[in-house]
Copies of this chain bind each other. A is one copy, B any other.
Amino acid sequence: MSTAIDELQAIIAELKTELEEQKTSTRNARERIERMSAEVVDSNPYSRLMALQRMNIVKDYERIRDKAVAIVGVGGVGSVTADMLTRCGIGKLILFDYDKVELANMNRLFFTPDQAGLSKVEAAARTLSFINPDVRIETHNYNITTVENFDKFLTTISECGIQKGQPVDLVLSCVDNFEARMAINAACNENNLNWFESGVSENAVSGHIQFIRPGDTACFACAPPLVVAENIDERTLKREGVCAASLPTTMGITAGLLVQNALKYLLNFGEVSDYLGYNALNDFFPKMTLKPNTECDDRFCLQRQKEFRARPQPKEQQEDEVVSNEPVHASNDWGIELVAEDTPVEQQLTNTTNVVTGLRLAYDAPDKVTVKQAENAAAVDAGVPETSLEELMAQMKSM
């Protein structure tokens, strides 16, 4: 009889070990790493990133550990954005969402079918911590557009940076509706925080990112949102019974362009794009810069514009911020755009706005909007190189 008990207890011990292994394998795949190393060994998860220094792309990659980024919206774009930043070894991620994972989200990257029913922030936090335990993940499971939650959001992005009491280094908007974008805009104007807006179209074949530096570039309230020129109205996105199309490609590319530009800004390499569109149907990538509206409805935007104008405008790139002969960084630590001084092409717009080819405003602009084409916005004319400005204007009026 005692042999039987021994045998049963042995079976229990074995099952417990197996269960523990099963659980461990899906929880802690690697130990935390104290410092990033450039050592070229298969077991080093940072070797390919630290190699950016040897390649003369980034001067000090490990600075990424001192950066905190807030991601608002952890859906098709936001989840991939979080995944990329986590694998890059970002110091801290703060995730905001109030939605649940559904099987209907499985046509985008990141979430897996077993996570259906979990909150997006919780499911994301688990996966991200598993992928890279060195990244600090903080989650906020609420809608930032309600009055009470907006205050929590405001406090979080201004005080929960890499050090307690510091603001985050960047806010990334990956939401799918106008109200949430306006809430982020208001919070970033008030806190004087730089942020990137991002979006994909309802028909899944276009996307865009926009870098907003309060006072320096147009805020989200300065002008109607710019989108890639297609039949889109983002306000219909969440309408009852309407199901927007989406593709893992368009969302992954948009997230990639968003994080790439965030990295360029945070680690000071290359040129950060102010507005970059992506039209999947013809692989066309329009670019432009928007100046702030001096009659913007957001009073904090007006205040930031005043502060920006009062700042000394640097005339030359600071040598110590440039890495080798790579293209110079278009912004300094204050987010001041260096090309602005050389490109005085400003135009007063009417409702039939003359935005660059390939882009359009999401709805009719009020008369007071001012749009400025950036120096390198010539890129956007590439699709119709033989067309005059007058012809373009006529074409856009007929859209």
Report which A residues bind B (CB closer than 8 A).
1, 4-5, 8-9, 11-12, 15-16, 18-19, 22-23, 25-26, 29-30, 40-49, 51-52, 54-57, 80, 83-84, 87-89, 102-104, 106-109, 112-114, 116, 130-132, 202-205, 241, 243-250, 252-253, 255-257, 259-261, 263-264, 269-271, 273, 276, 280-285, 287, 326-327, 376, 378-383, 385
Q: Check A247–B88 contact: CB distance below 8 A.
A: yes
CB-contact partner of A44 in B104, B241, B376, under 8 A: B104
CB-contact partner of A19 in B18, B83, B131, under 8 A: B18
Q: Check A15–B19 contact: CB distance below 8 A.
A: yes
Q: How far is the CB of A46 from chain B (nearest CB, A)?
A: 7
Q: How far is the CB of A22 from chain B (nearest CB, A)?
A: 5
Whole-angstrom CA separation of A282 from B374 in the bound complex:
13
Whole-angstrom CA separation of A380 from B40 in the bound complex:
36
Whole-angstrom CA separation of A364 from B242 in the bound complex:
54
Q: Check B47–A248 contact: CB distance below 8 A.
A: no
**Could you write out 16 A-B pairs with CB less than 8 Å apart?**
A22-B23, A26-B26, A29-B113, A42-B104, A45-B103, A49-B107, A84-B252, A247-B260, A247-B263, A248-B256, A264-B280, A271-B282, A271-B283, A282-B327, A282-B376, A285-B285
CB-contact partner of A55 in B109, B204, B264, B376, under 8 A: B204
Whole-angstrom CA separation of A55 from B23 in the bound complex:
43
**Which residues of B are found within 8 Å of A103, using beta-carbon distances?**
30, 42-45
CB-contact partner of A84 in B249, B261, B282, under 8 A: B249
Whole-angstrom CA separation of A285 from B257 in the bound complex:
12
Q: A280-B270, A283-B276 are in contact. Are A87 and B113 (CB under 8 A)?
A: no
Whole-angstrom CA separation of A104 from B102 in the bound complex:
32
